[in-house]
């Protein structure tokens, strides 16, 4: 029996965030999420979705002609077929990125996959959902992403980075909730504190402001 996935959308774009920002990529957005982040920018992916077989999704990705694939959501690790999707994409020679909320274990994901763990800060309302056991599973090909909505979020993030020595595990990327925190403020704090992280600006929202499916 074919493994099934619930798909919110599949499209091609420029990878907008993290260590692979700027690469053309196929975005596979899976449907469904059990978290309710206050600043969620893809509420349309929290529910619904169209059922697709794993083979059908792979054919669509292959037809795009791009080597980089981002598997995101929603929360992709809610779907039991996600590890198989990532593994088969890697088998086909794709550079595979998996973006997950950090509330679920990444242990089942193929080590060839670049795992992007979105560590939830307090202002998200979901900080208590962080699965801290994921930290020990991260390696240099992975990354931690923290989205900040306030100065308090930044101070919390800085404390986690320093006390847990997160930068020794993998790259750490900080971004902002654009309506609540200025990227220039975050940049100034990073410089003043000599924090060894990367600042992300969500390239897709700069290139195509106000558009969905980019």
Query: Which domain CATH number covers 65?
Result: 3.20.20.70
Q: Which domain holds residue 180?
A: 4-207
* Residue among 122, 123, 81, 130 nearest 101 (CA): 130
> How many domains does the chain contain in total?
1
pLDDT tens-digit map of 149-166: 999 999 999 999 999 999
With a CB cutoff of 8 Å and minimum separation 6, the contacts of 68 are: 15, 20, 23, 24, 25, 26, 94, 95, 97
Share the mean pLDDT of the chain.
95
Note whether residue 116 is domain-resident.
yes
Dist CA 147 CA 84 (whole Å): 28
Note whether residue 85 is domain-resident.
yes
Note whether residue 212 is domain-resident.
no
End-to-end Cα, the chain, rounded Å = 33
Note whether residue 109 is domain-resident.
yes
Note whether residue 185 is domain-resident.
yes
pLDDT tens-digit map of 29-68: 999 999 999 988 888 888 889 999 999 999 999 999 999 9
pLDDT tens digit at each of 214 positions of the chain: 679 999 999 999 999 999 999 999 999 999 999 999 998 888 888 888 999 999 999 999 999 999 999 999 999 999 999 999 999 999 999 999 999 999 999 999 999 999 999 999 999 999 999 999 999 999 999 999 999 999 999 999 999 999 999 999 999 999 999 889 999 999 999 999 999 999 999 888 888 887 665 6
């Amino acid at each position: 029996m074919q493994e099934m996935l619930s798909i919110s959308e599949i499209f091609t774009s420029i990878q907008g965030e993290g260590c692979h920002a700027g690469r053309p990529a196929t975005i596979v957005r899976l449907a469904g999420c059990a978290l309710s982040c206050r600043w969620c920018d893809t509420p349309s992916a929290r529910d619904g979705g169209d059922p697709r077989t794993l083979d059908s999704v792979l054919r669509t990705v292959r037809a795009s002609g791009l080597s980089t694939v981002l598997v995101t959501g929603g929360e992709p690790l809610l779907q039991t077929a996600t590890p198989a999707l990532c593994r088969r994409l890697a088998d086909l020679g794709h550079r595979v990125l998996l973006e997950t909320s950090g509330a679920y274990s990444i242990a089942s994901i193929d080590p060839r996959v670049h795992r992007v763990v979105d560590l939830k800060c307090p202002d998200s309302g979901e900080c208590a959902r962080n699965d801290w056991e994921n930290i020990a599973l991260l390696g240099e090909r992975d990354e931690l992403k923290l989205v900040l909505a306030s100065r308090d979020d930044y101070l919390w993030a800085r404390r986690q980075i320093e006390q847990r020595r997160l930068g020794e595990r993998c790259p750490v990327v900080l971004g902002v909730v654009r309506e609540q925190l200025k990227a220039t403020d975050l940049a100034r704090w990073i410089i003043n504190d000599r924090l060894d992280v990367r600042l992300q600006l969500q390239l897709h929202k700069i290139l195509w402001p106000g558009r969905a499916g980019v």
